[in-house]
Homo-oligomer: A and B are copies of this chain.
Amino acid sequence: MDEVIATKDKGTEGIRYASLKKTRARAEEILEAAAVVFTVKGFDATSMNDIAKAVDLTKAGLYHYIRGKQDLLHAIMDFAMDAIEMQVLEPAGQIADPTERLKMTLYKHIHLFENYGTHVTILIDEMTALTPAHREHIIQRKRAYLDFVRNTLSELKAAGRMRDLDVTITSLNILSTIVGMARWYNTDGKMPLEYVSEQTIGWVLRGVLKDE
Residues of A bordering B, CB below 8 Å: 39-45, 125, 128-129, 163, 165-166, 169-170, 172-173, 175-177, 179-181, 183-184, 191, 195-196, 199-200, 202-204, 206-208, 211
Contacts and interface: CB of A to CB of B under 8 A. Distances in A.
* A163, A165, A175, A176: most-surrounded residue (chain B CB, <10 A): A176
5 contacts: A172-B184, A176-B176, A177-B180, A204-B207, A207-B207
A41 B128 contact: yes
Nearest to A205: B207
B183 A176 contact: yes
Contact of A203 (B39, B170, B183, B196): B170
Given A166-B199, A176-B176, A176-B179, 4 more contacts: A40-B128, A43-B44, A169-B200, A170-B199
Contacts of A45: 128-129
A202 B180 CA distance: 20
Given A169-B199, A172-B184, A184-B176, A206 B44 contact: no
A117 to B, nearest CB: 16
A203 B208 contact: yes
A211 B210 CA distance: 12
A176 B165 contact: no
Nearest to A127: B42
B43 A183 contact: no
Contacts of A181: 172-173, 176
Contacts of A211: 211
Nearest to A200: B173
A211 to B, nearest CB: 8
